[in-house]
Structure 1
Amino acid sequence: MILDSAEPLKPPVSDLVEAAYTCSQCASFYTHPATFQDVSAIINLRGTASGVLQFGGEYVHCGEPMKIAGTGFRSVYAPMTTEDPTVDLLDVYLATKVLQCRCGFRMELPS
């Protein structure tokens, strides 16, 4: 993602700007309101941001906030051996949510 500009909203809204950016993969141009702090955090990144932009609590892909497509639980343990364990470890699970964009892009995050 390439941040093109951050302009004041019309009419002005405290601490919000109109963020304009271009997807470096599909060359699509998008705009939406965002907080000044979120835009400045992206400006301070080096290079271009890839894939998903995070503005506050929203994750943005294809120019719009992603929607929750499901929830689940994932084990925090990766298999340490291919043999059957002799001792059962207590399972620890992490609650997750799946976000999806209208284009079909999906990502899973801790809830």
Structure 2
Amino acid sequence: MTDLPDHPADVVLASYTCRRCRRFSEHPARVADLSIVLGREQTDDVLIFGGHYMHCGQPMEKAGSELRRLTAPLSTEDAAEDALDVYLSTRVIRCVCGFQMELPE
């Protein structure tokens, strides 16, 4: 992290490298956002940073929406025909490398 002279005191330059593709990236970031990221368990693929999902050092872009249907029986004693359906709207986000994921909207 490096202080940035033309930014507020709580903004620094954050630098990192993707473990998978080895791509280096750096950008201004709020210290509060960095403390949240550094204080939680990290995944190998996706960095959640200031409300943005990042992969390969770049923010992932919205690639569409999906409507997912989840079905579960109303009771473990009833027949399978008595099922409860739940619909979940998701947004699909994608990295330039092709990696994608779905998030609840």
Alignment TM-score > 0.5, same fold: yes
- Aligned length in residues: 102
Offset from partner CA, 1:5-64 (integer Å, 9 cap, x none): x22224123532211001122222111122211211222245x54111111211111121
The match for 2:99 is 105
Taking the TM superposition and a 5 Å limit, the aligned residue runs for 1:42-57 are: 42-45=37-40, 49-57=43-51
List structure 1 segments (4+ residues) > 4 angstroms apart after TM superposition: none
In the alignment, residue 22 of structure 2 is paired with which amino acid?
A
Is 1:27 aligned with 2:22?
yes
Q: When you count strand as a share of all residues, which structure comes out higher?
A: 2
CA distance in 1, matches of 2:17, 2:72: 37
Is 1:65 aligned with 2:29?
no
Q: Which runs of 5+ in 1 are unaligned?
A: 1-5
Is 1:91 aligned with 2:79?
no
> CA RMSD for the aligned pairs?
2.5
Q: Which runs of 5+ in 2 are unaligned?
A: 74-78
The match for 2:6 is 11
In the alignment, residue 74 of structure 1 is paired with which amino acid?
R
Give percent identity, aligned residues only.
45
